[in-house]
Structure 1
Amino acid sequence: MKSLNTQGARILATGSAVPELCVNNFKISEMVETSDDWIVTRTGIKERRVLTGINKSVVDLASLASIRALNKISMDPLEIDLIILATSSPNDLFGSASQVQAKIGANKAVAFDLTAACSGFVLGIVTGAQFIQNGSYKNILVIGADVLSKWTDWSDRSTCILFGDGAGAVIIQSCSIEKNGILGFQLNTDGEKSDQLSIPYRNKEKNQTISICKGEFDFIQMNGKEVYKFAVSKVPLSILTCLHSLCISPKDISWLLLHQANERILYAVAERLSIHSSKLISNLHKYGNTSAASIPLALDEALKNKRIKDNDLIVISGFGAGLTWGTVVIKWKC
């Protein structure tokens, strides 16, 4: 765990965006052998949003979420110094952050992609805070956005029921240490289990002249049982380690905001921490697993609903492909 204690950083504004098309469980049951009751019982998901349109991409959702965050505080996009786009479904394999930069008119900002799947937004927050801590930048836009529908096998019952598309954005700004809102973090990776959740590359052709293989990426592959065991064992430990380093007790936590993967995971993690389920922030039932977008999407919605108050302590934890997992503790500042 590293503590961010030399320069203050706080979340100034949030924004989110989801596609218009809503696909409920009854529609899914027309594509694969399943039912609304089966999906809800095992995942807690009732519907998800899916991006449609040939020319639509993660850039559109990320840009809209960013503009909504900027508009909340009437900030000129030219004031943004850095854009971090956490995504595993870029519009361009070289990266899509630069496209977001151009689309929102943040022409003075440095922009890059960060790929850590469902942990991406947490790593994006931590990365952005480092740039503020060392005095490099003042205003940083961190976006979590994914359109995993494009990488979903809609004939695979084990995965097509889970994923949806969306985007969430936050603006982090430097501040005095007295107003610091990002208290600390804990990050981990276990690459030996990367095959438990992946979008693997497959060799398809071989150029005989120079022996170069040409291939493509497959659909999402997931070992659901192993991912569940990983999440419910590693995430509570990550949270406890981070809280211990900050001398904070789980009972002092106002809100627990986890990556929205599966309702069973959310409740299992809360139970292991002895945190009451009423402190869980969740909108999983409406959007499904939106990967890097899930945490900022849920955060923005909770703020819109005025659930989060000044000085509330929020534990945020992401986990997923890599395998990666991480926690960041935030003290909300209005």
Structure 2
Amino acid sequence: MGGRATTIASLATYVPPRLLTNADLEKMVDTSDEWIRQRTGIRERHIVDPGVATSDLGTEAARKAIANAGLTPDDIGVIVVGTVTPDMFFPSTACLIQHKIGARRAWGFDLSAACSAFTYALTAASQLIASGAHDHALVVGADVMSSIIDYEDRSTCVLFGDGAGAVVVSAAKAGEPSILDFEHEIDGGGGPALCMPAGGSARPSSHETVEGRLHYVKQDGATVFKFAVRKTEEVSRRLLNRNGLTPADIDLFVSHQANRRIILSASERLGVAPEKVIINIERFGNTTAATIPLALNDALCAGKLKKGQLVLLASVGAGFTVGSVLLRWGF
């Protein structure tokens, strides 16, 4: 990557305290704990209480990330928020978080890439730091998926949870670990396979769209599964090949946590040893933009992620969006 080297200087996460377990879902829809675990690997997920928004979760993670970096909000030059559940269409969630944390010198924007939002936001922020425009960027991946999930649709309501993660991206000192490279792509032909049909300019909100339950996530599970497995492997392999690396060189593989079977299938196809693959979906479900920082945080707390290790991030999301980031862990 061009420009000066950049690094992840800190990490923090936040999930709302309220749990929604598989046992709870058994009482809401025709499903079972065994069915959910076998097909997804999920045991429980966190969901917000009424009135709690994406910016609230993002603010909690952002404050901790800034403090963990030894900085103050005034040190942040730009804020990039990856989310598919903004508090509202406008103003942006970045503006709301900026105000809540008191980052008086920052500008920022939201980035919509569904489950690839964190990898894309991390890349965008890294490029802004690499350019020399800023010394410190705040990247937030946060979603309140419970706000757009139909809890009468058993095919989707078992999958998603709410959460947030944040990192500070800073200029790397000479010789220190840094963000090395990225590989992203989109395929808009896959749009209908995973979407929220109404609420935008194509189908504005109306009595008909509400009655038709079109303001909820709709998914063609089989199509998404096959695409995610294939593309996770493809984009990761391209990135490794370009950098003269093999899967054996990776210390840690952190994929978007959409489904346990997707992660295992993709990592097996790629040839990453199982002990290097981080999976924590059983505790959080699919939190969309927050899954990768939540997985990184678990790896860090478990002692599996250490300074200088080679880490490969990968994601596939609605759009379709596909992303991969290669980095050496910064702290």
Residue in 1 aligned with 2:166? Answer: 169
Counterpart check, 1:119 vs 2:127: no
Q: Residues 80-102 of structure 1: CA distance to partner in whole angstroms, max 9, x if unpaired?
A: 00100000000021221101001
The equivalent residue for 2:31 is 34
Gaps in structure 1 of 5+ consecutive residues: 207-214
Deviation of 1:301 after TM superposition, in Å, equals 2.2
Residue in 2 aligned with 1:83? 79
- The answer on 1:299 being equivalent to 2:296 is yes
Q: Could you give the per-residue CA deviations for residues 131-188 of structure 1, whole angstroms, max 9, x where no partner exists?
A: 1121111100000000010000000000000000000000000124532511101001
| Residue equivalent to 1:110 | 107
Structure 2 gap segments, 5+ residues each: none
CA–CA distance in 2 between the matches of 1:112 and 1:186?
A: 22
Report 1:151-300 matches (<5 A): 151-176=148-173, 178-201=175-198, 202-203=203-204, 205=206, 218-300=215-297
Alpha-carbon distance, 1:324 to partner: 0.5
> In the aligned structure 1, how far is the partner of 2:330 from the partner of 2:188?
36
* C-alpha distance in 1 between matches for 2:172 and 2:79: 18
Q: Secondary structure at the match of 2:37?
A: helix
Deviation at 1:70, TM superposition (A): 1.6
C-alpha distance in 1, partners of 2:124/2:214?
28
Q: TM-score, normalised by structure 2?
A: 0.94
1:67 counterpart = 2:27: no
Report the CA distance shift for 1:133/1:180 in structure 2 as closer, same or farther (over 3 A): farther
Query: Secondary structure, in 3 states, of the residue corresponding to 1:155?
Result: coil
Whole-angstrom distance in 2 between the partners of 1:27 and 1:277: 31
Report SS of the residue matched to 2:175.
helix
Answer whether contact 1:69 1:171 (CA < 8 A) is retained.
yes
| 2-structure distance, mates of 1:176, 1:168 | 24
Q: Is the CA contact 1:181–1:331 (under 8 Å) kept in the aligned structure 2?
A: yes
Secondary structure of 1:179's aligned partner: coil
- Give the direction of change, closer, same or farther, for the CA distance of 1:217–1:178 in structure 2 (3 Å limit): farther
**Any idea what SS the aligned residue of 1:178 has?**
coil
| Aligned-pair identity (%) | 37
Q: Is the 8 A contact 1:65 1:167 kept in 2?
A: yes
8 A contact 1:152–1:159 mirrored in 2: yes
Give me the whole-angstrom Cα distance separating, in 2, the residues matched to 1:173 and 1:217. Answer: 41
Deviation sequence 1:63-115 (CA, Å, 0-9, x none): 00011112223311110001000000000212211010010111111121000
Q: What amino acid sits opposite 2:292 in the alignment?
A: I
Equivalent residue number for residue 44 of structure 1? 41
Identify the match of residue 89 of structure 2 among 93, 108, 129: 93
TM-score (norm 1): 0.93
Equivalent pairs, count: 322
Is the CA contact (8 Å cut-off) linking 1:9 and 1:181 kept in structure 2? yes
Counterpart Cα distance in 1 of 2:310 and 2:58: 27
Please say if residues 197 and 221 of structure 1, whose CA atoms lie closer than 8 Å, have aligned partners that are also in contact: yes
- Residue 318 of structure 1 corresponds to 315
What one-letter code is carried by the residue in structure 1 that aligns with 2:30? Answer: E
| C-alpha distance in structure 2 between counterparts of 1:333 and 1:20, whole Å | 29
**Residues 272 and 135 of structure 1: is their aligned pair in 2 closer, same or farther, counting only changes over 3 Å?**
same
Q: Map 1:136-151 onto structure 2 (within 5 A).
A: 136-151=133-148
